[in-house]
Structure 1
Amino acid sequence: MDSRQQLRTLIRQRRNSLSDEQQRTASLALRDRLLSIVSAQQTIALYLTNDGEIDTSPIIDSLKEQNTRLLFPVLHPFKKGYLNFQSVNRETQWTLNKYNINEPQLNSITTTPISNIDVILMPLVAFDPQGNRLGMGGGYYDRTLAQIQYLPTKPKLIGLAHDCQEVDSLPYEEWDVPIDAIVTPTRIINVSPQRLRTP
């Protein structure tokens, strides 16, 4: 097992060991911190919580109350390993994907180009103080966002995590897409776009 996979296993165990009360308290604190840096008028993509990830439902509920346009990732039907982002409403039909995660049923009409999204909230397994993000290993976000720097307008990429998911340093691969910020229940880490990253 390589070092990245060992780290995934360790951090997933760490976050899954949190009690229900710790999870609830953390998710509410995360919501409050995140809502201080995003606007209800923005188009925001986010995800449904899975496998001990910090609960995004308080964020979703608050943004819905403010009539924010919300998008959710859908496994791309034709490009294996990629994501579509689809807007949702009360009429949206949901289905379980191959990872047993709920996603909106495929609908080309509600699919939104990345250049039309203001903020993408991203899951992660681990992060470091330099803003490096370690995902689950499927590479879906990295593939989907690989050309983001060439877009005329690009979304702000924000990783969400428990504080216990922080590590001192993460190995960085050339295909890892840099993110702009990481938000935890206790802080916001803004990542400098000029920072040097070493593999």
Structure 2
Amino acid sequence: MNRQQLRKSLLAQRQALSPQQREDAALQVLTHLQQLPELEHACNIGSYHSVRAELPTAQLNKALQAQGHQLALPVLHPVRPNHLLFLRVSETTVWRPNIYGIPEPVLACTDILPLAQLQILLVPLVGFDLEGNRLGMGGGFYDRTLAAWHAGRLPHLQPIGLAFDCQQVEVLPHAAWDVPLPRVITPAKLWDFRN
């Protein structure tokens, strides 16, 4: 299958999961995530607002905040098209839908948390393979976001994909600009591709 066919197939599998299966999966992913040594102390975590049958992040995000971590969620960059900025969020954050209908915090320069200050970045995905290659929705937002990390300029940043078990495939077709992930967490396990 080519990338578009594979994306369509994986999205259909994800969509076929019941709301209860999705919520149960999210709790299992949270359990794996909370066992990471990086989360033993409060840190800055980039996350996202799940949409379109993605692994639910609402409870996961609340749990991370309750544990004292500073959460930052993405907004579409107002000046650099197809790029993301991450903004600190709290209980008082004002949300609005972006052009894709995804809720994002209202942009305030004082809330921007640069990637250099994030320790962990949770990444959505459509599929991943046994080498950590990631298939996204096709917009390239996270490949652009992770380009500096991939080039070695953000050594303290730890990208981690979040996925359902059904999103894992043997091999993904990938392009030169695709950024593979060092780790992916599914309900079944933590996949570590760093070795």
Class of the TM-score when normalised by the shorter of the 2 chains: over 0.9
Q: How far apart are the structure 2 equivalents of 1:92 and 1:103? A: 9
Is 1:186–2:185 an aligned residue pair?
Answer: no
Q: Is residue 25 of structure 2 the alignment partner of residue 26 of structure 1?
A: yes
Q: State the identity %.
A: 38
Residue 147 (structure 2) aligns with: 146
- Specify the alignment match of 1:131 in structure 2: 132
TM-score (norm 1): 0.92
Superposed, which structure 2 residues align to 1:102-121 within 5 Å?
A: 102-121=103-122
**2:12 aligned residue:** 13
What does residue 164 of structure 1 align with? 166
Aligned pair count reads: 192
Q: Partners in 1 of 2:160 and 2:43 — Cα distance?
A: 14
> Where does the alignment leave 5 or more consecutive residues of structure 2 unmatched?
none
Match of 1:177 in 2: 179
Structure-1 residue corresponding to 2:86:
85
Distance 1:154 1:45, change over 3 A: same
Question: Aligned partners of 2:181, 2:141: CA distance in 1, in Å?
Answer: 14
* Partners of 1:152 and 1:97 in 2: CA distance: 27
- Alpha-carbon displacement from aligned partner over 1:150-197 (angstroms, at most 9, x marks no partner): 42543101000000011110012111112110000010111126xxxx
**DSSP-derived class of the 1:5 partner:** helix
Contact 1:116 1:153 in 2 (8 A): no
What amino acid is aligned across from residue 19 of structure 2 in structure 1? D
**How far apart, CA to CA, are the structure 1 residues paired with 2:185 and 2:152?**
25
Q: SS at the partner of 1:32?
A: helix
Q: Which segments of 5 or more consecutive residues in structure 1 lack a partner in the other structure?
A: 194-199
| Structure 1 residues 120 and 64: alpha-carbon distance in aligned structure 2, compared to 1, 3 A threshold | same
Are residues 1:99 and 2:100 paired?
A: yes
Letter aligned with residue 182 of structure 1: V
Query: Tell me, what secondary structure is at the counterpart of 1:26?
Result: helix
Name 1:196's counterpart in structure 2: none
1:42 aligns with 2:35: no
CA distance in 2 between counterparts of 1:47 and 1:6 reads: 25
What TM-score comes out, normalization by structure 2 length?
Answer: 0.94
- Runs of 4+ aligned residues of structure 1 deviating over 4 Å after TM superposition are none
1:9, distance to aligned residue in structure 2 (A)? 0.7
Q: Structure 2: which amino acid aligns with 1:7?
A: L
Q: Quick check: 2:148–2:154 contact (8 Å CA) kept in 1?
A: no
Secondary structure of 1:147's counterpart equals helix
